[in-house]
Amino acid sequence: MKLVIAADHGGYDIKEKIKTALLEKGHDVEDLGTDNGTDSVDYPLFAKALCKEIQEGRAELGILCCGTGIGMSMVANKQKGIRAAVLSDEFSAEMTRRHNNANVLCLGGRVLSDERAVLLAELFVNTPFEGGRHQRRIDMME
């Protein structure tokens, strides 16, 4: 599965931890930046770039990281065909894939530990969409 990951300065550290963990598990992960956690950058640019990779079929899932995950999710959800979820618990990480077929996970580097961020990302990536009645509801979103 091809994954893309991106962050602003507030999410840089957890992006790096998540990327390393996913690569170690054998996932194909493309890092779209930012390249450090000290220089202030504009999160909408990174969110839009990541969403474009999914929209154009170059990636299946994406992970966006900022200070809280909220800003990234707001930008991502304005992009056609993107279903982004900002979350902080295991149940939501699983259910957003099973029932909502979310294709972008948004996490907050200032509100989650590195360990929790990695756990949530792994759950998100490894949980399949159930389809069935849930697909009908996804179609209603579009």
**Structural domains present in the chain:** 2-141 (3.40.1400.10)
Dist. CA 34–CA 19, nearest whole Å: 13
- The pTM score is 0.96
Q: What is the pLDDT of residues 55-91, one digit of tens each?
A: 999 999 999 999 999 999 999 999 999 999 999 999 9
Q: What is the pLDDT of residues 8-21, one digit of tens each?
A: 999 999 999 999 99
Neighbouring residues of 140: CB distance < 8 A, sequence distance ≥ 6: none
27, 99, 106, 134: the catalytic one is: 99
51, 65, 66, 106: the catalytic one is: 66
Neighbouring residues of 135: CB distance < 8 A, sequence distance ≥ 6: 101
9 given a catalytic annotation = no
Q: What is the pLDDT of residues 51-65, one digit of tens each?
A: 999 999 999 999 999
Whether the per-residue pLDDT at 141 is higher than 90: the answer is no
Confidence of residue 108 (pLDDT cuts 50, 70, 90): very high
For 17, list phi and psi in degrees, rounded to 5: -65, -45
99 given a catalytic annotation = yes
Dist. CA 13–CA 62, nearest whole Å: 17
